[in-house]
Chains A and B, each alone.
Chain A
């Protein structure tokens, strides 16, 4: 059977490689110092989708991402790997959204894309680590959900069989479609970009990425090749209720943000010399701290 698949993906700051300049002297996050990347577990989700596309002829895979215009990069990365298309959900009204407001916006967009058989997304994004958006989207669309998926084993007769991680082990489950799956980082890594697809889609852009003065390079090409225009939807396009979007749709508020200042201890400073290490080990042994 052919499947209709939507992959939710997020562009995130690479919090794994935070350098010393990641924080400004004022204690705020210096976003410019952090590269924007495809959220790692969303790539694992994309791979599961592309595998299903290969094993089930006629299957379509579309990406959905919410973010500023530059997040179109996520859609392009998906196209380079074999996705059929993508939607950029972008609007100032979405800004400041917590997980609940985010899942509302995404679920509205999925409804507009036409209800899929499978929604796939990463277990969590590395900038928030909440793992909340997947299950919340599932609830809003009244879909079944299975989280922490490590492999899609098979899809047949409207049923899907999955392997998932649980605390201290694994579980195999069977569930009816339609369903939302969140995919774990230990699932198969995503395939690399395909050179031909990179050639085909390298100029794919969302309208908001193009110069506003109408002086668009390659304008002719965009007219001839509709696949080079990435769908771009606003709040109005997805019939979004402004009360449920962005800051106003977010029940959680940030009361305070503190930069990390460790309470300094009186620490003893040693070098790595034989003498220093030896005296430390002796001290720890004498105080029965070790041994």
Chain B
């Protein structure tokens, strides 16, 4: 009872990386609270294929739901699993990925249980809370920390009275670390029909096309990222040239994506991809906190910006005050001249 739960996302028979990241975080939270870590895995034909991987992140109890109609994911059956399991188990915390699935499932579950849910958290901590209105003191609450209001502020959200305290986290924000290759956790195979009424299987998936990501932003050692200051699609071609020279990848801020300079899949930040490259070259990026949330763990940050006061300069190791179209070609030229 009152344990930390993680909903594991499973693509056919493979557990998604974001779930391992959340299990790692969940393990730490459970340790701090002195409770157990439990996990949920739901899919079709997953028995024997996912348990060991999930347990190895230090899961004390794994709930498996294996049944027809649970893959591909649709909203209602997975909602019923979580809602009915949570009514019995009364978790204090539930974490899920801020993925298409997690963002479809989380709110539906939170609404059923009238519990609070915070989306796209960038940090999770345990701490106390004093409610000024009621004068009540709460111990060991989950601090759900996220940028808000277009990234101009960072808010710490708590759910004092309702359980579970639910949060979604984007992939790449937390780090996955196994506890032990063979972790001795309990596995419970549930009878799906006891949790999911037949009437839940109403949405039929007719076709699915999933492609491997067209870029390798997450694993790239060098990223050349462009913001609104790049000015145009053509400006991004210049960044691509530089990235090609450096064997890196091109990324973008939300402002550049919204302006139509490049594809949405390149977006780095709270609502995009989180990256940890060795070198991050920010071209014409002002540095809204939403963007910084997705790149602050970069090794070396180089900022190229006409505005010497751009917020991103505060976290940059090198600040070049100048325009992108002027500096980037020079950068390419001297790299070519000196790299041999």
Residues in A neighbouring B301, C-beta threshold 8 A: 265
The answer to whether B100 and A173 have CB atoms under 8 Å apart is no
Within 8 A of A (CB), among B314-340: 314-323, 326-327, 330-331, 334-335, 338-339
Which stretch of A68-76, A95-103, A201-209 is in the interface?
A95-103
Residues in A neighbouring B103, C-beta threshold 8 A: 131-132, 147
A251-B159 contact, Cβ under 8 Å, with A29-B153, A260-B289: yes
Cα–Cα, bound, A169→B202 (Å): 22
Complex interface bits, B106-120 against A, C-beta within 8 A gives 1, otherwise 0? 111011101111111
The answer to whether A135 and B111 have CB atoms under 8 Å apart is yes
Cα–Cα, bound, A276→B321 (Å): 10
Residues in B neighbouring A122, C-beta threshold 8 A: none
Closest to B143 in A: A255
- B154 lies within 8 A of chain A by Cβ: yes
A265-B204 contact, Cβ under 8 Å, with A272-B321, A281-B334: no
Cα–Cα, bound, A133→B117 (Å): 11
Closest to A168 in B: B210
Residues in A neighbouring B1, C-beta threshold 8 A: none
A265-B212 contact, Cβ under 8 Å, with A254-B157, A255-B157, A291-B339: no
Cα–Cα, bound, A254→B133 (Å): 13
Q: Which of A99, A171, A284 contacts B107 (CB 8 A)?
A: A99
Closest to B309 in A: A20
The answer to whether A29 and B157 have CB atoms under 8 Å apart is no
Residues in A neighbouring B210, C-beta threshold 8 A: 166-169
- B211 lies within 8 A of chain A by Cβ: yes
The answer to whether A269 and B111 have CB atoms under 8 Å apart is no
Residues in A neighbouring B287, C-beta threshold 8 A: 262
Question: Which interface class (under 10, 10 to 19, 20 to 34, 35 or more) fits B?
Answer: 35 or more
Cα–Cα, bound, A270→B318 (Å): 7
Which stretch of A47-55, A82-90, A109-117, A137-145 is in the interface?
A137-145
Residues in B neighbouring A291, C-beta threshold 8 A: 246, 335, 339
The answer to whether B107 and A135 have CB atoms under 8 Å apart is yes
A144-B116 contact, Cβ under 8 Å, with A167-B100, A265-B315: no
Closest to A27 in B: B153
Chain B nearest CB: distance from A268 CB in Å?
5
Number of interface residues of A (CB under 8 A): 78
Complex interface bits, A217-236 against B, C-beta within 8 A gives 1, otherwise 0? 00000000000000000000
Cα–Cα, bound, A186→B267 (Å): 14
Chain B nearest CB: distance from A12 CB in Å?
10
The answer to whether B338 and A136 have CB atoms under 8 Å apart is no
Chain B nearest CB: distance from A133 CB in Å?
8
The answer to whether A280 and B318 have CB atoms under 8 Å apart is yes
- B150 lies within 8 A of chain A by Cβ: yes
Chain A nearest CB: distance from B175 CB in Å?
20
Within 8 A of B (CB), among A135-179: 135-136, 138-140, 144-148, 161, 165-176
The answer to whether B209 and A170 have CB atoms under 8 Å apart is yes
Complex interface bits, A17-35 against B, C-beta within 8 A gives 1, otherwise 0? 0100011000101000000
Within 8 A of B (CB), among A241-291: 250-260, 262-265, 267-272, 274, 276-278, 280-282, 284-285, 289-291
Q: Which of A165, A170, A281 contacts B331 (CB 8 A)?
A: A281
Chain A nearest CB: distance from B260 CB in Å?
11
- A127 lies within 8 A of chain B by Cβ: yes
A175-B100 contact, Cβ under 8 Å, with A166-B210, A168-B211, A267-B319: no
SS class of chain A's interface: helix, strand, loop or mixed? mixed
Q: Which of A166, A170, A257, A290 contacts B154 (CB 8 A)?
A: A257
Residues in A neighbouring B194, C-beta threshold 8 A: none
The answer to whether B338 and A282 have CB atoms under 8 Å apart is yes
The answer to whether B156 and A144 have CB atoms under 8 Å apart is no
- B36 lies within 8 A of chain A by Cβ: no
Residues in B neighbouring A290, C-beta threshold 8 A: 222, 246, 279, 335, 339
Of the listed residues A138, A173, A259, A277, the one surrounded by the most CB atoms of chain B closer than 10 A to its CB is: A277
The answer to whether B320 and A22 have CB atoms under 8 Å apart is no
Residues in B neighbouring A18, C-beta threshold 8 A: 150, 152, 288
The answer to whether B202 and A134 have CB atoms under 8 Å apart is no
The answer to whether B314 and A136 have CB atoms under 8 Å apart is no
- A130 lies within 8 A of chain B by Cβ: yes
Residues in A neighbouring B72, C-beta threshold 8 A: 171
Residues in B neighbouring A133, C-beta threshold 8 A: 107
Within 8 A of A (CB), among B178-229: 202-213, 222
Residues in A neighbouring B222, C-beta threshold 8 A: 290
The answer to whether B153 and A280 have CB atoms under 8 Å apart is no
Chain B nearest CB: distance from A96 CB in Å?
12
- B148 lies within 8 A of chain A by Cβ: yes
The answer to whether B157 and A172 have CB atoms under 8 Å apart is no
- A15 lies within 8 A of chain B by Cβ: yes
Q: Would you mind naming 24 contact pairs between A and B with Cβ atoms under 8 Å apart? A: A16-B254, A99-B107, A100-B111, A128-B148, A130-B119, A132-B119, A136-B110, A167-B100, A168-B213, A169-B210, A174-B204, A176-B202, A250-B116, A255-B158, A257-B154, A257-B155, A259-B152, A267-B318, A272-B327, A276-B320, A278-B338, A280-B318, A284-B300, A289-B278
The 5 closest A-B pairs by CB, nearest first: A272-B322, A15-B150, A251-B116, A169-B210, A262-B314
Q: Which residues of A line the B interface, CB within 8 A? A: 13, 15-16, 18, 22-23, 27, 29, 98-100, 103, 126-136, 138-140, 144-148, 161, 165-176, 186, 250-260, 262-265, 267-272, 274, 276-278, 280-282, 284-285, 289-291
